[in-house]
Structure 1
Amino acid sequence: MTTFLERLTRPFPAFVLIVLMLIFDQAIKYAVELYLPLNEAVHVVPMLALYRTYNLGVAFSMLSDTSGWFIVTLRLTIVIFVLWLWHRTGREHHLAHLGFALIIAGALGNLIDRFLYGHVIDYILFYTQTWSFAVFNLADSLITIGAGFILLDEVLAHRRSKE
């Protein structure tokens, strides 16, 4: 019996996960566009607010002064590179395959925003009285969590090789 993670080493289950994450990401962004005021914090719990804003660049608004087509090309290049890594990574690296799927879903989610709206919709804000983190979205979180899974897989593979 194969586990969920083992299934992600095959293209179809990984594709299904990517599509489900894209649907979830886009549904949330659609709701944010409909119901959240622009540039106005809606406090959820201490240190967490919903805050709709638009990102013209990539993560943390980097490259926001560059051409939109450059950013689209950059994101497509990342997706192609991650697909290449996914293909070259052995089937025993289940967490890495999960990470690749999450990165692809996140990159495509933000790419869809770029095509639909001309910018990326961000809406999650962590803050304190004296500090706030960059506003981000589910797609950004998927990319970050995916990278974390890939790093964890590398650490675990390194430990296994030493045994």
Structure 2
Amino acid sequence: MAVNARSAVACLKHAARVMVPRGAGCVLYTGSTTGMLGGLAALPYSLSKATVISVVRAAADELARSGVRVNAISPHAIATPLLLRSLARLHPGVPDEQLKRLVETGMSDLRGAVLQVQDVARAAVYLASDEAKFVTGHNLVVDGGFTASKRIGTPEASSTAS
């Protein structure tokens, strides 16, 4: 909570001090699908990301009158080393390659595409650009439709694992 929720409020406080007098600006947060749906992550993490998404909505309303846009990007799981280590702890005995496959293909019904860090970066570039000049209070969900279906394949432990 301290890192995600408190830093979101602190960031907003300091950004608004600079942006409001200028009459323009863009504050961009990282939410998560875990802040939108229950049961995807540990409760404190999910609560902190839900708080970030709520801060976006509340701040967008307040700061729009000053020309400041506030948005969030909520990506779903990306097969980063950090996530794969966490999954390995949750699913001991499941081979790393199988966990990677689960993240890349088992957490979305959108076939032919795998969520990568660059996809989230592209979403950020869009929301920070003039192309999104009329977008505020929005949580851009980058999840391949996961939040529309909420299906996760369950990894099976390898029979060769000891």
TM-score by length of 1: 0.28
TM-score normalized by the length of structure 2:
0.28
